[in-house]
């Protein structure tokens, strides 16, 4: 499976016009090549409101290459610049069927970019899957997925996308203090969360809002 991350920055008032064009032309073309759009997100905090981040899945590299024809449209008057990266899926999300049912969709999304040592790769995934994710999902968040660049780098950049009902919902979970939990059931999750903090070299959080 191949994931395309496309980040577009628009000229003044270009984003809404672009979304109209995308709905009528680009998205149908992507679907015809087997592309499945996971999300389209506008910048809110950390990224400007005139930016759009889109993640699209393809079964293989050949399907992705075929899909590139969808982007040959006359958008020069709308777009300032855009960057495209190929990502590979990590961990147990997204679902292999690459569908996001309505109950898993959210309005606000946290896009987290973390860098770690290649030697901590497997442990980073474990700490998220069994430490962080169970707790935030119990509180109503929706983890859409985790990815690394298709290329090999050191340190490794890992991207995690998590959805929240509102900005207040994100604040509530982001600033929670797990050390205050009394039940022993939390002990392993707490240990994994603390270990995760120790292996992350750098971390950047951007908040975005669903554009679709």
Full-model pTM: 0.87
Query: What pLDDT score was predicted for residue 30?
Result: 94
Residue pLDDT, tens place only, 64-113? 999 999 888 777 789 999 999 999 988 776 555 556 667 778 999 999 99
Cα-Cα-Cα-Cα torsion 23, 26, 28, 32, nearest 10 degrees, comes to -170
Strand partners of residue 55: 5, 39
Domain 2-86: assigned CATH number: 3.30.70.100
**Does residue 58 carry a pLDDT above 80?**
yes
* Separation between Cα atoms, residue 126 and residue 116, nearest integer Å: 14
Q: Where are the domains of the chain?
A: 2-86, 102-210
102-210 shares the fold of 2-86: yes
- Give the domain 102-210 fold: Alpha-Beta Plaits (3.30.70)
Neighbours of 132 (CB within 10 A): 20
């Amino acid at each position: 499976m191949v994931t395309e991350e496309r980040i577009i920055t628009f000229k003044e008032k270009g984003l809404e016009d672009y979304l109209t064009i995308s709905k009528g032309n680009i998205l149908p073309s992507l679907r015809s090549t087997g592309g499945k759009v996971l999300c389209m997100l506008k910048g809110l905090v950390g990224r400007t409101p005139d930016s759009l981040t889109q993640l699209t899945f393809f079964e293989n590299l050949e399907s992705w290459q075929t899909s590139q024809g969808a982007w040959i449209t006359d958008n020069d008057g709308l777009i300032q610049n855009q960057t495209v990266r190929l990502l590979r899926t990590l961990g147990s999300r997204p679902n292999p069927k690459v569908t996001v049912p309505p109950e898993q969709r959210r309005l606000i999304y946290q896009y987290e970019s973390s860098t770690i040592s290649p030697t901590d790769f497997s442990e980073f995934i474990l700490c998220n899957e069994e430490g962080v994710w169970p707790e935030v999902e119990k509180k109503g968040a929706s983890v859409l997925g985790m990815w690394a660049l298709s290329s090999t780098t050191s340190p490794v950049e890992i991207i995690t996308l998590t959805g929240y009902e509102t900005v207040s919902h994100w604040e509530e979970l982001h600033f929670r203090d797990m050390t205050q939990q009394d039940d022993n059931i939390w002990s392993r999750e707490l240990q994994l969360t603390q270990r995760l903090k120790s292996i992350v070299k750098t971390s950047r959080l951007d908040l975005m809002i669903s554009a679709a």
